[in-house]
């Protein structure tokens, strides 16, 4: 079992729709969870971080964390073509220095 | 401008020829890390450093070395590169290990090809 698993893609949604990206992790002691966006050929950029159970909203983005289920998700409302990218889930586990990333989910938003 | 720089950005080399990829940050960050990215595999951590002279292995350290003699620099060394080290490499830094309030900043990437 991979330490961090993301829902397999690619994911395609129409413009204006809600895109839902999911991630599960195996280290029950994990404390910090991150969503990065990566455009093709570019470096990852942080879009959301979450540390407590529940929802965290930032503009059109909402991160959801459920530590009991070891599950973290990212919702993108009113999806735009500029949201088309690969989204990476990252988890910082009990070892503070180690960051584990999922394989990524490629999202395409069609005009 | 706050940034993480990597050099070179592109490198083609041959098997066995030692090489170093440099990474430098100007944000006085204590934490630095190296990742490699291969198609469909996300980012995999190679090594990280919590501070000067403090380094530790990530998930895929085999075939790599690092050093942290100054806070700003964290070079990645491939003593004897092999074709399976062909990859896209990212350096990253954050004030402290990524966590609440501490965002990780990534460099632009180094595309390495080993023939």
Are the beta carbons of B104 and A46 separated by less than 8 Å? yes
| Rg of chain A on CA atoms, in Å | 13
What φ, ψ does residue A100 adopt, rounded to 5°? -115, 130
Structure-block tokens of residue A76 = 């993108």
Q: What is the 3-state secondary structure (H, E, C) of A44-77?
A: CEEEEEECCCEEEEECCEEEEEECCCCEEEEEEC
Are the beta carbons of B99 and A32 separated by less than 8 Å? yes
- Nearest-5° Cα angle at B62, B18 to B95: 90
What percent of chain B is predicted at pLDDT more than 90? 87
**What are B79-107's pLDDT values in tens digits?**
999 999 999 999 999 988 887 778 899 99
Residues of A at the B interface (Cβ-Cβ below 8 Å)? 4, 6, 31-32, 34, 42-46, 49, 51, 88, 90, 92, 96-104
Residue bearing the bigger pLDDT, A93 or A78: A78
Contacts with A51 from chain B: Cβ below 8 Å: 99-100
Is residue B56 within 8 angstroms of chain A, CB to CB?
A: yes
Residue A1 reports pLDDT greater than 90: no
Taking CA atoms, what residue in B is nearest to A39?
Answer: B108
**What are A32-91's pLDDT values in tens digits?**
999 999 999 899 999 999 999 999 999 999 999 999 999 999 999 999 999 999 999 999
- In terms of DSSP bridges, do strands A99-101 and A85-92 run parallel, antiparallel, or are they unpaired? antiparallel
Is residue B50 within 8 angstroms of chain A, CB to CB?
A: yes
Burial of B52-69, coded b for 16+ CB within 10 Å and e otherwise, reads eeebeebbbbeebebbbe
């Amino acid at each position: 079992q991979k330490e961090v698993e993301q829902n397999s893609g690619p994911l395609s949604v129409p413009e204006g729709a809600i895109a839902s990206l999911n991630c599960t992790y195996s280290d029950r002691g994990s404390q910090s969870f991150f969503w990065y966006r990566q455009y093709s050929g570019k470096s990852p950029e942080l879009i959301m971080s979450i540390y407590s159970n529940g929802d965290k909203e930032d503009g059109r983005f909402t991160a959801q964390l459920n530590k009991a289920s070891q599950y973290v998700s990212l919702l993108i409302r009113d999806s735009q073509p500029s949201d088309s990218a690969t989204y990476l889930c990252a988890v910082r586990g009990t070892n503070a220095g180690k960051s584990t990333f999922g394989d990524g989910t490629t999202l395409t938003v069609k005009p | 401008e706050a940034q993480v720089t990597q050099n070179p950005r592109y490198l083609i080399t041959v098997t066995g020829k030692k090489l170093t990829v440099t990474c430098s940050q100007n944000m006085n960050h204590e934490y630095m890390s190296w990742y490699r990215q291969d198609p469909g595999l996300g980012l995999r951590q190679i090594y990280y450093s919590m501070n000067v002279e403090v380094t530790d292995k990530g998930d895929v350290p085999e075939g790599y070395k690092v050093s942290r003699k100054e806070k700003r620099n964290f070079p990645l060394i491939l003593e004897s590169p092999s074709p399976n080290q062909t990859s896209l490499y990212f350096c990253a830094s954050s004030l402290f290990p990524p966590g609440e309030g501490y965002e990780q900043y990534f460099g632009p990437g180094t595309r390495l090809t080993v023939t």
